[in-house]
Structure 1
Amino acid sequence: MSATLILAPGRERSVMRRHPWIFAGSVDRLDGRARPGDTVLVQAASGRVLGRAAFSPASQIRARMWTFEDESIDDAFFRRTVTRAVEQRRDLPELAGEFGPRGGVRLLHGESDGLPGVIADRYADVIVLQITGAGGEKWRQAIAEALVRATGIARVYERSDSDVRALEGLEPRCGWLIGDGEPPFPVIAEPGVAGDVNIEIDVAGGHKTGFYLDQRDNRRLCGELARERRVLNCFCYTGGFSLHALAGGAASVLSIDSSGPALATARRNVGHNPQIDAARAEWLEADVFQALRTFRSEGRRFDLIVLDPPKFAPSAAHAKAAARAYKDINLLGFRLLAPGGLLMTYSCSGGVDPDFFQKIVADAAADAGVSARVLRRLSAGADHPVGLAFPEGEYLKGLLLRVG
């Protein structure tokens, strides 16, 4: 019989609104014994049953809700939940092509799919599973098998090496869950403005699960905007925005990243796309902040700049410090834009909400002495849903701006 997690009086409201996190300060007591990842029954102080959750005694998020009903958490539960998430994506016309043999699509998006701390991305013929919570760790094999059943993809590689696992008391874990052999380098085909753009994925060594599928729609938009423009792509990683800009007819694309291996993959990606004129691409291994300052002193100008930096604020506690970095990089971007130029600027920091991010960018524009208008608000694609009661899931936010 499972243990029961009893909430302090008045602390049941967020759970009743279907927010999936229960913080340590909301817990009155645990009746019974539970190990990390075990399923516990969640009750309000009144005795009302609120659902079942994964217990995590090492984390400030003491429990994560699997369900807001009184139902069993077992292999069948994960088969149902995983199948529902996959089928909901299959039903979306804009994702139909991503279920083809060279598709790239997020299959599971954590809390917003009812699977806290569980991410799964499909790259062609391999699924990459990333688990950051104690509950997902306990059920990892059941989740992997459910993914195979729901997709027909026979190989599942685990990339549970995120730093946040330490907050759950979990060690890093990487390797095949289902399948064997050397880690693969699948090539996916993203829809571009003039046909598919082919992108190689480093499943074992790349960032996150190997790539950033959340920017798929925004990369295509970049390709649509790039024609005959001088493009600067900052924090380019393996060149996703750059490839789409080149395929879209950019006059030139300068891409900057501090990682030599990432740039090596980016150069290989050009080779995967014979429709791209490699002579229009320049790759620079450098610190982005320093490089932009150098460009400023040289008087260089660009017509389209992409700023997609790493996560500066992993939580709200880091937001104030991160604001300085976001302001600095956007200030430099504004100063390098030609009159009438376009800026695509992003934050993937969960600790920076969209309103705060816009304020930071507006302050940067004011300091740069430019006027800018928001042409479009940018976000992750449809395979990265956001639970209505879980605004924390809306981590990626962006702005398409025109100056002058």
Structure 2
Amino acid sequence: MKTLRLKAGKERSLLRRHPWVFDSAIAKGGGDAGETVRVESADGQFLAWAAFSPNSRIKARIWSFDEEQRIDADFIEQRIAQAVAARVWFDIQSDGVRLVHGEADGLPGLIVDRYGDTLVAQFTSCGSEKFKKAIADALLQVTGLTRLYERSDASVRQLEGLPEVTGWLRGEGATELTIREHDWRLTLDVATGHKTGFYLDQRDSRQRFFEHTRHRRFGKVLNCYCYTGGVTVAALAGGAGHVTSIDSSGPALDRALAHVRLNGFDESRATFLDADVNASLRQCIERGEMFDAIVLDPPKFAPTAAHAERAARAYKDINRLAFKLLAPGGELFTYSCSGGISADLFHKIVASAGTDAGVDGFISERLQGAPDHPMTIAFPEGEYLKGLVVVRR
């Protein structure tokens, strides 16, 4: 068994059960890609078992802090069983659910979503890649399903020195699926959709927007970066008078329109624009338009903290424009899915955007990912999705 010896004082984060070891913390040692290594303090004290990643700044991702633990196929199956069992704690109200959420479930670099009778897995680290066969076997054993699609095409694999891989790992068949979410039906394609096919992390936010719309009776709603129209469906279900949805993907907008039809809503209450969001917001301002509710759910502007400054300007700009379009008493649902933007920084960005727009408001809610996307107390970096509901005064 190979060993990683840390520099003096660098063991503190592992003693707090943080699951990462950065290259700057290592005094000596290493291993092959995905190999399980013993992590020790400078004085030789056992700290953890970890998967080694030669090409990443995160050199080791922790499997276990128990010295007696064997890291093998049985360990993998046990962790997957625990993760799947934990999801029964939550009232998810959907047959689209995240079953494994990486470090939060003790399986670093592994994402697994279930869409009805189909599993989709994403392997984003050398450790999860090394155990791919054991993970696939365990997933089918624990869930009783037979179809498992791989979507290992996330850009983070490049940092691990891993190529993109997609396709069926187990089973075969159609990749176009329909799921139930609350009282709605939504479709996705696990082969071509964003992430593993869909944004399950925003499930509860879509429900909250439906509840706000039903209570407030929004007349005009603007849904920016709408993707396949989950929020559009929620707004129409809540009784919104008209929803304008903007995205720069024609295929996503086609699916969004199909969702309006699939759920039986009047198409005349929905407009879809294949356009740049920033340019569209400016055009709306020039036309003097106002909206009762605006949703901003942009893509990841800052994947790491190193990108935070540039991303902050982008977030501020779109929020400033949105505030100018928000009617008095209206609500802005604004989000950041960037891991490099903390909740505190995002709050400051939105506040600054309001000031520049000459708009005052109060935060009525803070939103986060759905509960099947957990964040642990030892791993605050897991809080990538942040949302604020701001009511304009």
Please confirm whether the aligned pair reaches a TM-score higher than 0.5, indicating the same fold. Answer: yes
- 1:264, distance to aligned residue in structure 2 (A): 1.2
Deviation for aligned residue 1:272: 1.9
2:240 corresponding residue in structure 1 = 250
2:89 aligned with 1:91:
yes
CA distance in 1, matches of 2:32, 2:261: 50
1:379 and 1:123 map into 2 onto residues whose CA distance is 21
Would you say the 8 A contact 1:342–1:403 is kept in 2? yes
Aligned ranges 1:295-310 → 2 under 5 Å: 295-310=284-299
Q: Is residue 190 from structure 1 mapped to residue 181 from structure 2 by the alignment?
A: yes
Q: Secondary structure at the match of 1:111?
A: helix
Structure 1 outlier segments of 4+, above 3 Å: none
| Offset from partner CA, 1:228-255 (integer Å, 9 cap, x none) | 3111000000001111111111100000
Deviation at 1:173, TM superposition (A): 0.4
Residue number in structure 2 paired with 1:209: 196
Equivalent position amino acid for 1:36 in 2: A
Please give the per-residue CA displacement for 1:3-23, whole angstroms capped at 9, x wherever unaligned.
Answer: 111111111110111101000
CA distance in 1 between partners of 2:20 and 2:208 (Å)? 35
Residue 91 of structure 1: how far off its partner (Å) = 2.7
Which of 25, 36, 40 is residue 37 of structure 2 equivalent to? 40
**Separation in structure 2 between the aligned mates of residue 120 and residue 277 of structure 1, nearest angstrom:** 35
- 1:5 counterpart letter in structure 2: L
Alpha-carbon distance in 2 for matches of 1:39, 1:91:
32
Percent identical: 54
Alpha-carbon distance in structure 1 between the residues aligned to 2:103 and 2:326: 39
Listed as ranges, the gaps of 5+ residues in structure 1 are none
Residue of structure 2 equivalent to 1:7: 6
Q: Give the structure 2 partner of residue 266 of structure 1.
A: 256
Please, which of 85, 107, 128 is the counterpart of residue 120 of structure 2? 128
Say how many residue pairs are matched. Answer: 389
The answer (yes or no) to whether the contact 1:123–1:201 under 8 Å persists in 2 is no
Deviations 1:110-161 (A, max 9, x none): 1111111110111111111011100000111211221222222211100000
AA partner of residue 208 (structure 2): L
Counterpart among 156, 166, 171 of residue 174 in structure 1: 166
Aligned counterpart, 1:67: 64
Task: Provide Cα deviations, 1:237-285, integer angstroms capped at 9, x if missing partner.
Answer: 00011111111111000000000111111122223212x2222011000
Q: Residue 186 of structure 1 aligns to a residue in which SS?
A: strand
- 1:282 corresponds in structure 2 to 271
Amino acid at match of 1:77: F
* Residues 1:109 and 2:101 are matched in the alignment: yes
Which residue does the alignment assign to 1:157? Answer: 149
Match of 1:240 in 2: 230
Q: List gaps (5 residues or longer) in structure 2.
A: none
Equivalent residue runs for 1:143-154 within 5 Å: 143-154=135-146
Q: Secondary structure at the match of 2:176?
A: coil
- My pick for the range that moved more, 283-292 or 150-159, is 150-159
Residue 293 of structure 1 corresponds to which residue in structure 2?
282
Q: Which residue of 2 aligns with 1:29?
A: 28
Deviation at 1:181, TM superposition (A): 3.2
2:337 aligned with 1:337, yes or no?
no
Name the Cα RMSD after superposition. 1.0
1:313 corresponds to which letter in structure 2? Answer: A
Q: Which residue of 1 aligns with 2:336?
A: 347
Native 8 Å contact 1:214 1:381 kept in 2: yes
Q: CA deviation at 1:330?
A: 0.3
Amino acid at match of 1:21: W
Distance 2:46 2:131 in 1: 23
State the distance in 2 between where 1:248 and 1:266 align.
17
Q: Output the amino acid matched with 1:402.
A: V
Task: Return 224-233 or 389-398, whichever deviates more.
Answer: 224-233
TM-score (norm 2): 0.97
Aligned to 1:82: 80
CA distance, structure 2, for counterparts of residue 323 and residue 10 of structure 1: 33
Q: Give distance in 2, aligned partners of 1:148 and 1:272.
A: 31
Q: Which whole-Å CA distance do the structure 1 matches of 2:159 and 2:342 have between them?
A: 23
User: Aligned with 1:149: secondary structure?
Assistant: helix
- 1:287 CA drift (Å): 0.3
